[in-house]
Chain A
Amino acid sequence: MEKDEFNRLLATSRIVLNEIESDSIQKDTEDILKFFDKIGSVTVETGEKAFHPVDIPEKLREDSAADRREIENVFENGDTYRFYFLGPKV
């Protein structure tokens, strides 16, 4: 992986590294991807994929706001102003 490509990946990942960390993690990334390439030799003919290890019947939650504590939890753990929690500019 070229340095430019790695830097683009860092930007996409929203990770900032110093120079020493960057060199070390770039090397690790290349080694790990080489290790992952091992699966290239497997032929998966069936096209079936295991998104979960066991069959999970499709279930949807009731469309209702039942647990208002969840909202309070967000307020308890973040900076707030009146009825809002504070975050960065979008």
Chain B
Amino acid sequence: MKADFLELDKDEYPGFIETLRDKNEELNAFNFIQNSYGEGKIISVKDNICVKDMPATASSKILEGYKPGFDATVVRRLKENGFRVIGKTNMDEFGFGSFGLNSEKQAKNPFDEKYVSGGSSSGSAISTAIIKDHVSIAESTGGSISTPAAFCGVVGFTPTYGLVSRYGLIDYANSLDKIGFMGRNAAAIKEVFNFSLGKDAKDTTSLERELIDNNSRKLYVINGLMKGVNPLVVDRFNRLLDRLISLGYTVEYKDLEYLDYSVPTYYIISMAEASTNLAKYQGFKYGFRLKDFSLDYNDFFKSARKEFGKEAKRRVILGTFIRSQSVRSKYYDKALGIRHLIIRQMKKLLSDGLIISPTMPIFTPKIEEVNDINPVEAYSMDMLTIPPNLCGFPHVSFPYFYEKGMPMGAQLIADHFNDYSLFSVLSEWEQNFKYKFAGELG
């Protein structure tokens, strides 16, 4: 199937940008929109991925004013293949959040502004939902592509860890970060993904491997994962399974012993890594400049870090604690061991099938419903998106049901480097189910 991408001529562009700006006032999808015209197939890029001469803030005040003088490898490769970046999309600060609310401008759901858009790639999901034939370059650490894709009714694909170079990514947690894509169908995402692949000398963790489609028609549902899912969401998900069975898929229910521990394991590893990554924001090198050079180094550093939002501070504090010598083996080392066990268990299952689940355990919540939930409750909402992210498995979230007009997403997980299997299942699904989008700008 051929992919379509939005291209505008010089006369159409100003009108399009004006409409996009108006829409952005309502939804807070973009941190930056490019006014000047340029030829090419239009894409947007999450604000933690560097685009030459465009601001890159990761939605953090501490990076305000930072403008990289280079393109991230993924952006460079797409530009070389005829794509053009129209803007930088809103996100939870540094990727710390699941609802798109940890940002100065809280992102809103394009189907209904009272509801969350999901995060952390909130703006990438919204822009894909409202712009015709759009693809947005996003990034996932623990579910930052799947979650907003599900809440905003678009397709969100996270590749196998290492397949897309992370050079130019403002990193959150190095052993978990993956650059991925949001789009309106499998064909568009696959095309952009293929242009983005390949080894990169600037990212020593990037990999070049032959990708597989194992043509499996076996789907596994993990009992433990379904335990915490809202019963009504389970009911809608079961209807999806019935439809897939009618298309010739088989469904098997399985238990996986260690998956219950994936959420704390993920947050331990990600906070430990985040606390070291955020140490480079000292108030004189990137973005925000403190300028009071009379302070000694510690006071200067502490003053600059007041610019972090509450969730960023919380994660730096916890990450620093977890890495301290007295508890390192209790938390960090143990978490790395559990990740090894979970990978081994999941790989065994994925050798002859795919894992399927709802993307989120709840219906799309209203903004007012999640503004005040405590951190442990918020982290627990990631229970379905964390396992594939923790283990670097490729996964995709796709729309499968509309509940009172709001989209719901399901998530498919494949084995490492079986990324193309996901596109095959998705293409077949798209022939049997018509997605509804929140807009057709362009």
Report which A residues bind B (CB closer than 8 A).
9-10, 12-17, 21, 25, 28-29, 31-33, 35-36, 38-40, 42, 44, 46-54, 56, 59-61, 69-70, 72-74, 76-79, 85-90
Contact = CB atoms under 8 A, between A and B. Distances in A.
Interface string B280-299: 00111111011101011110
B378 to A, nearest CB: 10
A31 B375 contact: yes
Contacts of A46: 337, 340-341
B268 interface: yes
A14 B298 contact: yes
Contacts of A21: 310, 313
B284 A15 contact: no
A22 B333 CA distance: 28
B366 interface: no
A44 B321 contact: no
A47 B333 CA distance: 9
A35 B335 CA distance: 13
B108 interface: no
A25 B337 CA distance: 28
Contacts of B204: 56, 59-61
Contact of A9 (B161, B305, B306, B321): B321
B201 A39 contact: no
Contacts of B267: 32, 35-36
A15 B391 contact: no
Contact of A56 (B207, B300, B335, B374): B207
Given A38-B264, A53-B391, A87-B284, A73 B376 contact: no
Interface string B377-396: 00100000000001111000
Given A35-B379, A87-B282, 7 more contacts: A9-B320, A12-B320, A21-B313, A32-B267, A46-B337, A50-B343, A79-B291
B285 A85 contact: yes
A29 B335 contact: no
Contacts of B196: none
A39 B314 contact: no
A54 B331 contact: no
Interface string B395-426: 00000000000000000000010000000000
Interface string B313-340: 1101110111010000011011111111
A46 B345 CA distance: 14
Interface stretch (B12-20, B29-37, B65-73, B235-243): B65-73
B69 A39 contact: no
Nearest to A61: B204
Contacts of B70: 69-70, 73
B335 A53 contact: no
B143 interface: no
A14 B205 CA distance: 30
A9 to B, nearest CB: 6
B48 interface: no
Contacts of B321: 9, 29, 33
A88 B293 contact: yes
Most A CB contacts (10 A, CB to CB) among B69, B205, B322 go to B69
Contact of B296 (A73, A78, A86, A88): A88
A70 B293 CA distance: 24
A50 B375 contact: no
Given A44-B341, A49-B333, A76-B69, A36 B264 contact: yes
B162 interface: yes
A48 B308 CA distance: 35
A14 B313 contact: no
B227 interface: no
B28 interface: no
A88 B121 CA distance: 34
A86 B284 contact: yes
A28 B374 contact: yes
A54 B295 CA distance: 44
Contacts of B162: 52, 54, 56
Contacts of A54: 160-162, 207, 392, 416
Contacts of B338: 39, 42, 44
Contacts of B374: 28, 31
A39 B335 contact: yes
A39 B60 CA distance: 32
Contact of A44 (B264, B282, B337, B379): B337
B268 A39 contact: yes
A46 B343 CA distance: 14
Interface in B46-104: 65-70
7 contacts: A14-B302, A25-B313, A32-B375, A36-B331, A47-B337, A53-B392, A54-B207
